[in-house]
């Protein structure tokens, strides 16, 4: 089950060139979607299914801003309307393809899978993209064979960094013990925490003497459906015990992450990490990028095994622990939004019956 009235990431903008055959064939929330770029730079998202005999439109060709299905040659405008049926003058009004609202923002392509009338660009989560002139950001993606709810739970509880990521992002038990300040946002939770006088993250410890200590600022927002943006700073250790460090800032960085459900068993994980140009140094942003790339492969192993176990025993009793508060908050919000969508979908039928 997937939220439909929301923005799902369908790719990085550089994945969609103006090439004649350049289509992205994605599966978003269990529906096949084809994306392509128009001459003016705009992006079109359509159901990847020809209304004639369900051929995949992503195997077609571009003609101007239109897409021609290359099985029998039917041509569709960027609004999904059929504009040509070769060998036939009359075009039936049913010859149309469903289209989806698309927005490009922060170098990400976002698609709205629900009611187009509700497609509010303000619901797109904040991010810092690779094109931002103030930041040096590197990007990638990996595929995870697990339900996106497991990703939400993973992202909402950073204590796992100390365990899963002990060789990459971890390196201090503050991940487990520091209390995180949480604030609800319209579709998510913002989480802020300072780690004071702790070792560098594991991926960077080789750069410093063993007794080097730092203050770390971690400010991450998780937004439904499954987006995660972390503002991460490293400071020399200060003396402040509450509020911002009074040391000196060494690194200012952003990692933006968007997890898109492909189907009930698969996610695409789009992610980036890099530092501000002011605090970058040769190889530094590259190292940050490599650290999350490594870390998400660590998560992948764990989440895929967890997913298989949960599929086998979906009704298994679960023991709750203190770190579940964050994940549960977010999953309950997701469940509430899903219930609202289901109610809205049922409503017109109710009216017809009344």
Q: Which chain residues interact with a copy of itself by CB under 8 A?
A: 32, 48-49, 51-56, 58-59, 68-74, 82, 85-88, 92, 94-95, 153, 157, 159-160, 162-164, 166, 173, 176-177, 301-302, 305-306, 309-310, 312-313, 316-323
* Helix runs in 110-193, H state only: 148-156, 160-163, 174-177
Residue number with CB closer to a copy of itself (30 or 115): 30
Partnered with residue 96 across adjacent β-strands are 81
Residue number with CB closer to a copy of itself (168 or 256): 168
Tracing tokens 């239109």 back to the chain, one arrives at 66
Residue number with CB closer to a copy of itself (72 or 336): 72
Residue 72: left if φ>0, alpha if ψ -120 to 50, beta else—which one?
alpha
We find the least distance from the C-beta atom of residue 36 to a copy of itself, in angstroms, to be 16
Dig out the tokens for 311 from the structure. 């599929």
Helix (H, G, I), strand (E, B), or coil: what is residue 250? strand
Residue number with CB closer to a copy of itself (24 or 164): 164
We find the least distance from the C-beta atom of residue 191 to a copy of itself, in angstroms, to be 15
We find the least distance from the C-beta atom of residue 264 to a copy of itself, in angstroms, to be 14
Helix (H, G, I), strand (E, B), or coil: what is residue 142? strand
**Dist CA 320 CA 157 (whole Å):** 13
We find the least distance from the C-beta atom of residue 89 to a copy of itself, in angstroms, to be 9
Residue number with CB closer to a copy of itself (301 or 342): 301
**Dist CA 231 CA 214 (whole Å):** 16
**Dist CA 116 CA 101 (whole Å):** 6
Output the DSSP codes for 267-279: EEEEEEEEEETTT
Partnered with residue 27 across adjacent β-strands are 32
We find the least distance from the C-beta atom of residue 133 to a copy of itself, in angstroms, to be 38
343-352 long-range contacts, Cβ below 8 Å, gap at least 24?
none
Residue number with CB closer to a copy of itself (53 or 336): 53
Report the run of H or E that residue 218 belongs to, with start and end: strand 214-223
Residue number with CB closer to a copy of itself (207 or 301): 301
We find the least distance from the C-beta atom of residue 100 to a copy of itself, in angstroms, to be 17
We find the least distance from the C-beta atom of residue 63 to a copy of itself, in angstroms, to be 12
Q: How far is CA 165 from the centre of its chain?
A: 20
């Amino acid at each position: 089950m997937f939220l439909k009235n929301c923005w799902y990431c369908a790719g990085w903008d550089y994945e969609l060139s103006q090439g004649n055959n350049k289509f992205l064939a994605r599966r978003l929330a269990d529906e096949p979607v084809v994306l392509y770029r128009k001459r003016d730079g705009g992006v079109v998202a359509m159901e990847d299914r020809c209304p004639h005999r369900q051929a995949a439109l992503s195997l077609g060709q571009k003609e101007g801003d239109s897409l021609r299905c290359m099985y029998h040659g039917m041509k569709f405008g960027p609004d999904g309307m059929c504009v040509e049926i070769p060998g036939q003058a009359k075009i039936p009004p049913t010859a149309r393809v469903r289209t989806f609202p698309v927005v490009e923002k922060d170098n990400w392509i976002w698609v709205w899978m629900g009611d187009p009338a509700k497609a509010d660009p303000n619901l797109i989560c904040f991010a810092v993209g690779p094109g931002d002139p103030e930041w040096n950001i590197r990007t990638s993606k990996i595929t995870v064979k697990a339900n996106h709810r497991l990703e939400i739970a993973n992202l909402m509880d950073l204590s796992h960094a100390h365990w899963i990521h002990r060789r990459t992002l971890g390196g201090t038990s503050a991940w487990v013990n520091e209390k995180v300040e949480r604030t609800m946002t319209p579709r998510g939770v913002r989480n802020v925490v300072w780690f004071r006088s702790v070792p560098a993250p594991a991926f960077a410890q080789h750069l410093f003497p063993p007794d080097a200590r730092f203050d770390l600022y971690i400010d991450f927002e998780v937004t439904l459906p499954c987006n995660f943006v972390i503002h991460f700073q490293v400071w020399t250790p200060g003396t402040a015990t509450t509020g911002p460090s009074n040391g000196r800032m060494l690194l200012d960085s952003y990692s933006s992450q968007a997890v898109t459900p492909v189907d009930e068993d698969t996610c695409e994980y789009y992610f980036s990490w890099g530092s501000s140009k002011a605090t970058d140094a040769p190889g530094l942003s590259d190292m940050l990028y490599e650290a999350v790339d490594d870390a998400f492969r660590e998560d992948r192993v764990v989440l895929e095994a967890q997913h298989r176990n949960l599929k086998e025993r979906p009704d298994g009793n679960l023991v709750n622990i203190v770190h579940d508060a964050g994940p549960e908050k977010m999953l309950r919000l997701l469940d509430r939004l899903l219930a609202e969508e289901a109610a809205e979908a049922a409503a017109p039928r109710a009216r017809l019956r009344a």
